[in-house]
Structure 1
Amino acid sequence: MKAVLYICHGSRVKEASDQAISFVKECMKENDYPIQEYCFLELSEPSIEEGFKTCVEKGATTIIAVPVLLLTAAHAKIDIPEVLDELVKAYPDVALHYGRPIGVHEKMAEIVIAKIKQSELYVKNKSLVLLVGRGSSDPDVKRDLREISDLVERSLDGVKVEDCYLTAASPSFEAALQAASNSQYENIIVIPYLLFTGILMNTMRKTINGLSNSNKNYALCNYLGYQPAIASILKDRIDEAAGAKLYVPING
């Protein structure tokens, strides 16, 4: 019997964890696998180990593990696989497939575009968009978010899109916001490229309040949240993984 295990990041903020669970439950409706469970890499429960065990206890002989992560980074390439390596050893009779994160996709650019157009500050040739990622030392994060920024910019005439990051990558959100305040643009639209709420949303609000130039207009949009388009991408990632080769442990 086949199972899907949705692996979310996790958060110290209960509201964010609750949103992740609600998000995944909506995504589950798009898939007809008999067993579907959610779990978290860190900071929230159930853990990946617990989620995997639940799938097995429900009769799963094949598990498709898919990271519910926006961008390609160390979590998807190293941290989650390190846990899966141990699970492969613990459950040698269970076939495991591992999917890709959401990554670069034109539907993600469309979601960002819709948020920009919904902003009261959206004005052609007068709007600068800051697309704000969580950030990582992994260069693939910058590559992915810059590619999405480029897709958005090409689709919106007269709108400039800059990518920036909250941690571990440059330019930092603070530096990008300061540059925006000194730019020619009158309207600064900030879009958090985050799936759920959390501490980082509060950080952005405080930063905007602290650096706001009275000659500029600032708008902080909401995080992405559940979107049918994201559920569709995750379904594609699940189907892709199901048809791929079995998971090969990163350590042999």
Structure 2
Amino acid sequence: MSRTPVPALLLIAHGSRDPRHAATVAALVREVRAQRPALEVATAYLDHCAPRIPQVAARLTDAVAVPLLLNRAFHAKHDIPAALRATGAALPVADVLGPSPLLLAALDRRLAEAGLDVRSAAVRSRTGVVLAAAGSSDPAADAATRAVAATWRRTRGWAAVEVAYASAAGPRVPDALAALRTAGATRTAVAPYLLAPGLLPDRIAAAAEDADLLADVLGPAPELATLLLERYDRARLAAEALPAEALTA
């Protein structure tokens, strides 16, 4: 008996002029394929990189679009839906990645790789962490990042977690590091809440020179690949539950 084909996963990334961005997205796609080898995975970019959304969406007859975005800000609310509408492709679109316990696990992984003993409750209780995000003009997106920081502190028992932004409004990384020390942290770490290398991660790294430890971006962490597949599955199942007329409306 033949199986019904499942939709492809169309991963939509922002894109960057920095070649490290596309290389990181490609590595993440390899991790997704390793976790689910039978699934077709395609990649498209909003800007800067090729292929763009129209080039890829036009050749996919059945797919679920999964945004490679941490927060539901302008790209998720406007740019991606508009780009898909312009192609004439009525694809289901999955939710953004955050918030999720898997993102916190990926942040833990990067801190551990940078040399922090994240398994030690005593170490965590003395360590203050800067969750360094891109920043957004959308207040809801920044509120979501602050909620991630609060959850991370509560569930891990950090001495403190402060949010800093690489763009838009402050606070900046040095401000957040100062706040951590005021809160009593005896060791400080900066954890970029960003998906791939580029201008903003470089800006965060340069501003983190006074921190005891700097973690890498989330990149192709296995937790991130698992989360992409979770978002894909949820959107696919939701689309399958819709009546046929709703799909063509």
- Superposition TM-score, scaled by structure 1 size: 0.81
Q: In structure 1, what is the Cα distance between the partners aligned to 2:84 and 2:38?
A: 20
2:132·2:165 contact (CA, 8 Å) conserved in 1?
yes
Q: In structure 1, what is the Cα distance between the partners aligned to 2:161 and 2:78?
A: 30
Superposed, 1:1-252 pairs within 5 Å as: 2-31=7-36, 35-55=40-60, 60=61, 62-88=62-88, 91=89, 95-117=90-112, 119-120=114-115, 123-180=123-180, 184-209=184-209, 212=210, 218-245=212-239
| Superposition deviation, residue 117 in structure 1 | 4.7
Structure 1 residues 113 and 121, CA gap change in structure 2 (3 angstroms): closer
Q: In structure 1, what is the Cα distance between the partners aligned to 2:99 and 2:194?
A: 14
Q: In structure 2, what is the Cα distance between the partners aligned to 1:86 and 1:33?
A: 29
Q: In structure 2, what is the Cα distance between the partners aligned to 1:38 and 1:19?
A: 12
Structure 1 residues 34 and 158, CA gap change in structure 2 (3 angstroms): closer
Query: Root-mean-square deviation (CA), in Å?
Result: 2.6
CA-to-aligned-CA distance 1:160-181 (integer Å, 9 cap, x gap)? 1111211124323343234446
- Superposition TM-score, scaled by structure 2 size: 0.82
AA aligned to 2:238 is A
AA aligned to 2:24 is Q
| Superposition deviation, residue 136 in structure 1 | 0.7
Q: In structure 2, what is the Cα distance between the partners aligned to 1:234 and 1:186?
A: 36
Moved more, 169-178 or 236-245: 169-178
Q: Percent identity?
A: 28
| Superposition deviation, residue 105 in structure 1 | 0.7
Q: In structure 1, what is the Cα distance between the partners aligned to 2:59 and 2:233?
A: 21
1:115·1:221 contact (CA, 8 Å) conserved in 2?
yes
